[in-house]
Amino acid sequence: MASKATIEDRDTITPVYKDDDILAAAARLAGEDMCSIADLTSGEVRATLKLGHDVKRNPREYRHALDAKQMVLMFEKASLRTRLAFETGINTMGGNAIFVDQTSSPLGEREAIADIARNVERWVDVIVLRTYAHDTITEMAANSRVPVINALSDFEHPCQALADFMTLEEHFGSAAGLNFTYVGDGNNVCHSLMLTGAQLGANVTVATPRGYSPDIEIVTKAREIGEANGCELRLLQDPQAAVEGADAVYTDVCVSMGFEHESTKRAPIFRPFQVNDALMQKAAQRAVFMHCLPARRNAEVTDAVLDGPQSIVFDQAENRMHAQKALLLLLLGGLANVPSFQ
Ligand code: CP
Ligand code: NVA
């Protein structure tokens, strides 16, 4: 699809903040969608995180970056972090968020998705969607002239992965060369983490029960990206082997939203994949524990690990806001209003 950024949009981004990655990302991403984290190049992911760190350090600098910009959030599923991180994020940059609860009426049921897009784009500057079907997001993007952001679908959770790797950069200085292990369901969160790990040069190991491995299309894409960035992706079924020497151990619920009817079947299958003290002992001494939250305490992770000294889960949650602010700045051309970019 042709770029949504107009020539005028691109011209407003003045290349004075001397960071080539951020400037290149700002120029290309203005007006674009983020349905998948792979919609961003490796350089653009690095740039988004670099901007995220600056937004976190100097929030005042960005106070008016999105003055009067309107964001709509249409969510088919529950949310605490994603919703509040987007709302606080845009509010603290001068914009406004409107939340539309779609939990009892999925998008496309009352009105065609394309028609929703053609209405909403007349009023708002960005559309943020949380859906069951990933196609709902890509269809909205295909029919909207304003950027569409994936705030979680059954297939991907790109905003989560941005915040998670921002958190790893904070903790370790860089994600390149880190040994990152994901244990659990090969789900939406796992998919975006695999892609982002590859984009940032992290060696990613994924351990899932048989039958719950990540999607092959994502595996192939992550390996392709990783090859260019000198890192590897391993898929295992043994959690003990997977965490051996890991710098970060990540898990998520084994029953994602929309899969509740499989709870009874999944519980015993995922029991050996629980992250507990014994499993963390196998990781590197400096290892951190990560979880996107919400967690099912004492199911996929024990209280001792979740609340223990290695856990950085609330840093991840905080960074949802900073990383999403950076993403909004790039997609909405907001750097044009930031003094240090003049
Ligand atoms: N991690 C995450 O996306 O949290 P919410 O479901 O609360 O938004
Ligand atoms: N995999 C989980 C993530 C929630 C943030 C879900 O989709 O429910």
Atom of ligand 1 nearest to the CA of 78: 6
Q: Class assignment of domain 160-317? A: alpha beta
Ligand 1 binding residues, C-beta < 6 A: 79-82, 152, 160, 292-294
Question: What local confidence, expressed as pLDDT, does residue 341 receive?
Answer: 85
Q: Which of 252, 266, 274, 316 is catalytic?
A: 252
Ligand 1 pocket: which of 81, 130, 313, 324 to mutate (most atoms within 8 A of CB) = 81
Whether 210 is catalytic? no
Tens of pLDDT, residue by residue, the chain (342 residues): 445 644 344 344 333 466 889 989 999 999 999 999 999 999 999 999 999 999 999 999 999 999 999 999 999 999 999 999 999 999 999 999 999 999 999 999 999 999 999 999 999 999 999 999 999 999 999 999 999 999 999 999 999 999 999 999 999 999 999 999 999 999 999 999 999 999 999 999 999 999 999 999 999 999 999 999 999 999 999 999 999 999 999 999 999 999 999 999 999 999 999 999 999 999 999 999 999 999 999 999 999 999 999 999 999 999 999 999 999 999 999 999 998 887
Question: Which helix (H) or strand (E) segment is 91 a member of?
Answer: helix 81-91
* Catalytic, out of 28, 81, 266, 320: 320
Catalytic, 292? Answer: yes
Which neighbouring-strand residues pair with 204? 180, 233
What is the residue-wise DSSP string for 236-305?
ES-HHHHHTT-SEEEE--SS-TT-GGGHHHHHHHHGGG-B-HHHHHHS-TT-EEEE-S---BTTTB-HHH
Supply the pLDDT for residue 14: 38
For residues 243 and 240, give the distance between their C-alpha atoms in angstroms, rounded to a whole number. 6
Annotation marks residue 110 as catalytic? no
How confident is the model at residue 4, as a pLDDT? 61
CA distance linking residue 45 with residue 38, whole number of Å = 9
Per-residue pLDDT at 10: 39
Query: Is the C-alpha dihedral spanning 289, 293, 299, 303 positive or negative?
Result: positive
Residue 9: per-residue pLDDT: 45
- What is the maximum span of the chain, computed from C-alpha positions, in angstroms? 57
Nearest atom in ligand 1 to the alpha carbon of residue 130 is 8
Cα distance between residue 322 and residue 48, in whole Å: 10
Tokens of 102: 């779609």
Reading the block at residue 116, the tokens are 């929703």
Topology classification of domain 15-156+319-333 = Rossmann fold (3.40.50)
Q: How far is the CA of 187 from the centre of ligand 1 (A)?
A: 14
Q: How far is the CA of 159 from the centre of ligand 1 (A)?
A: 10
**181 close to 68: Cβ distance less than 8 angstroms:** no
pLDDT at 17: 62
Question: For residue 319, which ligand has an atom nearest its CA?
Answer: 1
Hey, where are the domains in the chain?
15-156+319-333, 160-317
Same fold, 15-156+319-333 and 160-317: yes
Q: How far apart are CA 155 and CA 255, in angstroms?
A: 14
